[in-house]
Amino acid sequence: MPSTVALSVTRYRPEEESEPTRQTYEVPYRKDWVVLDALNYVKDKLDGSLSFRWSCRMGVCGSCGMMVNGEPKLTCAAFLSDYFPGPIRVDPLQYFPIVRDLVVDITDFIKRLKRVKPWIIWKEEKPLAEGEYRQTPDQLDIYKQFSMCINCMLCYAACPVYGLEPGFAGPAAIALAQRYNLDSRDTGALERLDILSEKNGIWDCTFVGECTKVCPENVDPAGAIQQYKLTSAAHWFKSFLLPWGTK
Amino acid sequence: MSGGAHYTLHHPKWYRRRMSVWWWLQKRTYTKFVLRELTSVFVAFFALMTLWQVRALGEGPEAYARFLARLQTPPFLALHGVAFLFVLFHAVTWFNLAPKAMVVRLRGKRVPDFIIAGLNYFAWLVASGVVAWLWLRG
């Protein structure tokens, strides 16, 4: 059994080349290593110029997302043994502009996220004397799944609609909007609906369903979007039949 | 530094990959998705056939007999065979995806996906049974 595995990595050095190239590194094969360990081995021992993002190495921070053999993965959770004997292909997240090597520019994602107002909106803030905003376990259960998102953007890299329609709000942003819509303390659902039922919102989604498959936290963004479509359609019917009742 | 790079120090120069026209052939799930979207064409085809049938019916027994004779020609049989497969695919994928959009909560707990999908299939079976009964009765 060979004790090494080949890692074929995208290189892009904008100061030297006008488009990405590939470079292959032989790294030790260890059963307990993940792709991120292999990349760190390359950085430490073989080639210090390789750039990639990572932080927690335990599936919490969401910064080490890359394409591993063409699939969006958290490299801290992609074991070498699953790809053995290789070669393992590592690329930057699909559909995002590449800054350098495996690092992509996420400005666009952050902008989209902000647009859907992913925070609790109160019509009126309660006076402090009235105490805390209480929530029952059942009320928490309704949105909890959608609140598990770690913003790793794997769902964007899996979504062909995001690749084809550059304005599309995208799976994670909509799932997070839904997380706040379903929160019993929130009163901003109509504001978000105005943003998301328009162009580049939920109706751009054609339900490919890949976002849900690649999500490392089981957030189910595809489900969130379809449920949101149902809410939006119901709201439209209501405003059509009872125009005075939805204001 | 190579001539074509045009790099300004400390200023990012992004590389944007262009999406291939054949993106939907690069992954099986994408191909399946595009086929699923295509099924709408065949659903529309069946709707048009029904309209045609109604028109033939309105034009009298002779026109209707001509319509039925045309349906029995090999090209129409083949077309209907293909269309039927696509419509079946359409129905199955629709029912399988239904639980994603329909969240039903009973006593605070979410009803499992297979029950929602199962109820959809059950309703489909009942509707088909009723249609078959109406058809075979006469």
Interval A129-161: pLDDT, tens = 988 889 999 899 999 999 999 999 999 999 999
Residue A176 within any structural domain of the chain: yes
pLDDT of B6 strictly over 80: no
Query: Which positions in chain A touch B10 (Cβ < 8 Å)?
Result: none
Across A220-235, b (16+ Cβ under 10 Å) vs e yields bbbbbbbbbbebbeee
**Mean pLDDT computed over every residue of chain B:** 88
Q: Would the CB atoms of A15 and B7 count as touching at under 8 Å?
A: yes
Are residue A35 and residue A80 in the same domain, yes or no?
yes
Which residue range(s) make up the domain with A184? 107-241
pLDDT of B4 reads 54
Same domain, yes or no: A144 and A94? no
Q: What is the pLDDT of residue B106?
A: 82
Residue A194 belongs to a domain: yes
A83 and A27 both lie in a single domain? yes
**Could you tell me what percentage of chain B is helix, strand and coil, using 3-state DSSP and rounding each to the nearest 5?**
70, 5, 25
Which helix (H) or strand (E) is A242 found in, with range?
Answer: none
Inter-chain CB pairs, A–B, below 8 Å:
78
Amino acid A125: pLDDT:
84
Same domain, A125 and A219: yes
Q: Does one domain contain both A116 and A95?
A: no
Nearest to A227 among B4, B24, B103 (CB): B103
Number of domains in chain A: 2
Q: What confidence score (pLDDT) does residue A30 get?
A: 94
Residue B23 forms contact with A (CB below 8 Å): yes
| Nearest chain B Cα distance for residue A1, angstroms | 31
Q: What is the pTM of this model?
A: 0.88
CA-to-CA distance for B86 and B90, rounded, in angstroms?
Answer: 6
Is A98 close to B16, i.e. CB distance below 8 A?
A: yes
Return d(Cα B16, Cα A19) in angstroms, integer.
9
CA separation for the pair B38, B87 (Å, rounded) = 10
- pLDDT, residue B53, reads 92
Last residue of some domain: A70, A104, A138?
A: A104
What residue ranges do the domains of chain B occupy?
21-86, 102-138
Q: What is the ipTM of this complex?
A: 0.81
Query: Distance (Å, rounded) from C-alpha A7 to C-alpha A95?
Result: 22
Asked whether residue A246 is assigned to any structural domain, the reply reads no
Same domain for A162 and A98: no
pLDDT score of B61 more than 80: yes
The predicted pLDDT at position B66 comes to: 92
Which of A141, A206, A227 is opposite residue B108, by nearest beta carbon?
Answer: A141
CA of residue A204 relative to chain centroid, distance: 17
B27 touches chain A (CB under 8 A): yes
Closest CA to A118 of A213, A219, A211: A219
Final residue before a domain boundary, out of A104, A136, A169:
A104
**Same domain, residue pair A119 and A148:** yes
Hey, what's the torsion of the CAs at A25, A28, A32, A37, to 10 degrees?
Answer: -40
A1 - beta bridge partners? none
A67–chain B Cβ distance below 8 A for any pair: no
Answer whether A67's CB lies under 8 Å from A157's CB.
yes
- The runs of H, that is alpha helices, within A131-205 are 137-144, 154-158, 160-164, 171-181, 189-196
Three-class secondary structure of residue A65 per DSSP: strand
Calculate the CA dihedral of residues A71, A75, A81, A84 and round it to 10 degrees. 50
How high is the pLDDT of residue B108? 74
Specify the DSSP class assigned to residue A123.
S
If pLDDT is split at 50, 70 and 90, which confidence band does A245 have? Answer: low
| Mean pLDDT, range A16-32, rounded to an integer | 93
Mean pLDDT of all residues in A34-59: 95
Q: Are residues A136 and A206 in the same domain?
A: yes
Q: Are residues A100 and A119 in the same domain?
A: no
- A67-99, pLDDT tens digit by residue? 999 999 999 999 999 998 889 999 999 999 999
Q: What percent of chain A has pLDDT over 90?
A: 73
The DSSP code for A87 is P
Please indicate if any CB of chain B lies within 8 Å of the CB of A234: no
List the one residue out of A1, A4, A2, A66 whose CA is nearest residue A35: A66
Distance of CA B133 to the CA centre of its chain: 26
pLDDT classification of B1: cutoffs 50, 70, 90? very low
Put simply, the answer to whether A160 touches B24 (Cβ < 8 Å) is: yes
Contact B15/A209, CB-based, under 8 Å?
Answer: no
pLDDT tens profile A167-221: 899 999 999 999 999 999 999 888 998 888 888 889 999 999 999 999 999 999 9
Q: What mean pLDDT value characterizes chain A?
A: 92
Output the domain CATH number for residue A47. 3.10.20.30
Question: Quick check: A138 and A201 in contact, CB under 8 A?
Answer: no
A70 touches chain B (CB under 8 A): yes
Cβ atoms of A181 and A174 within 8 Å: the answer is no
Kindly report which listed range (A9-23, A46-60, B90-104) carries the lowest average pLDDT score: B90-104
Domain end (from A104, A129, A157) = A104
Q: Domain containing A155 — which CATH number?
A: 1.10.1060.10
From B62's Cα to the closest Cα of chain A, the distance in A is 44
Of the candidate CATH numbers 3.30.750.80, 3.40.50.300, 1.20.1300.10, 3.20.20.70, the domain formed by B21-86 belongs to: 1.20.1300.10
B27–A105 C-beta distance less than 8 A: no
Model confidence band, residue A2 (pLDDT cutoffs 50, 70, 90): low
* Any B CB within 8 A of A206 CB: yes
| Residue A154 included in any domain | yes
